[in-house]
Amino acid sequence: MNDIKPVRKAVFPVAGLGTRFLPATKVMPKEMLPIGDRPLIQHVYEEARDAGIEEFIFVTGRHKNMLQEHFDYQPELMKTLKTRGKDDMLEKVRDSEMPEGKLFTTRQAKPLGLGHAIWCARKLIGDEPFAIILPDDLVLNDTGCLSQMVETYNEKGGNVIAVKDVPREETNKYGIVDIGKEDGKIIEVKGLVEKPDADKAPSTTSVVGRYILQPEVLDYLAAFETGAGNEIQLTDSMAKLIGSQAFHGLKFDGKHYDCGSRLGFIEANIGYGLADKKIGAQVKEIIKDYSSND
């Protein structure tokens, strides 16, 4: 399908206060909390970069300057590392730099919901398809979740969301998919419902924090209609695209971690620690030691 426009831009909603992690997030943005040897925001940046994203849009709030500074050029640090012969650390610092002219920011002054955050980036998104990555959601896999989604998008076009199965009693925590035809890991999305009660959920297939959407969703977001939690829900506007545009869900490969909760954050550090080639074996031994002391 030669008429499928490439996905060049990704939006990162990072305006949240991170209250679940207070007092750690009293000054430091929650997106700077480390998973392994790098902060959350760098994990998702690298995922987007590896998927071919060229422009990175941060929807920020107050006290979020550290996020931009993390990706900035650090000449003093690099000089010190070079002088001390710490070439491995120097390479890691270089890898955390974002190319000039690729990072764009806009502000979400009030916490009116995910849909509102995306609407705040409308001028930077323009009239082209775009990705959304929620930094709270990490997916550990050799091939990044967004790379898998881009492959599906290039085949199917339209809109693509990442999905996974959840317990029915937890459907009221997620956006839930009304499933149509299934083709391996790709499912047809017939409908979307935000945080339905278990007895009203059309399935147990939930949306994970990865999206590739067409720009028309911004027109629906502009209506500022509120939904679950009295917030402007992205799910509600996405649902309005169904029928007029192709809409698919991808059952991605990889382990998903919800780093927006303390328990999920700890689990992610364990998972990424075990996957670390340098310290994985030692992390495994530490876990064994704690398990044997139960």
Please, what is the average pLDDT of the chain? 90
Strand-strand pairing, 34-35 and 38-39: antiparallel
pLDDT score for 259: 94
Whether 178 contacts 191, CB under 8 Å: yes
Tell me how far apart the alpha carbons of residues 114 and 121 are, in angstroms, rounded to a whole number. 11
Tell whether the model's pLDDT for residue 235 goes beyond 60: yes
Helical (H) or strand (E) element with 4: none
Say yes or no: domain 9-260 is CATH 3.40.50.300: no
| CA max distance for the chain | 63
Q: Percentage of the chain with pLDDT > 70? A: 98
Across residues 61-77, what is the average pLDDT? Answer: 81
Q: What are the tens digits of pLDDT across the range 98-124?
A: 888 899 999 998 888 899 999 999 999
Q: What are the tens digits of pLDDT across the range 121-139?
A: 999 999 999 999 999 999 9
Nearest 10 degrees: Cα torsion 170, 192, 114, 66: 70
Q: What are the tens digits of pLDDT across the range 268-277?
A: 999 999 999 9
Domains in the chain: boundaries: 9-260
Tell me how far apart the alpha carbons of residues 34 and 18 are, in angstroms, rounded to a whole number. 14
Strand-strand pairing, 103-107 and 130-133: unpaired
Strands (E), the chain: 9-13, 34-35, 38-39, 55-60, 103-107, 130-133, 137-140, 159-165, 175-183, 186-194, 205-213, 247-251, 255-258
Across residues 149-178, what is the average pLDDT? Answer: 94
Tell me how far apart the alpha carbons of residues 9 and 55 are, in angstroms, rounded to a whole number. 5
33 vs 70, higher pLDDT = 33
42 vs 26, higher pLDDT = 42
Tell whether the model's pLDDT for residue 174 goes beyond 80: yes
Range 247-256 burial, b when 16+ CB lie within 10 A, else e: bbbbbbebeb
Q: What are the tens digits of pLDDT across the range 188-211?
A: 999 998 889 999 999 999 999 999
pLDDT score for 18: 81
Rg of the chain taking only CA atoms, in angstroms: 20
Give the type of residue at 208: V
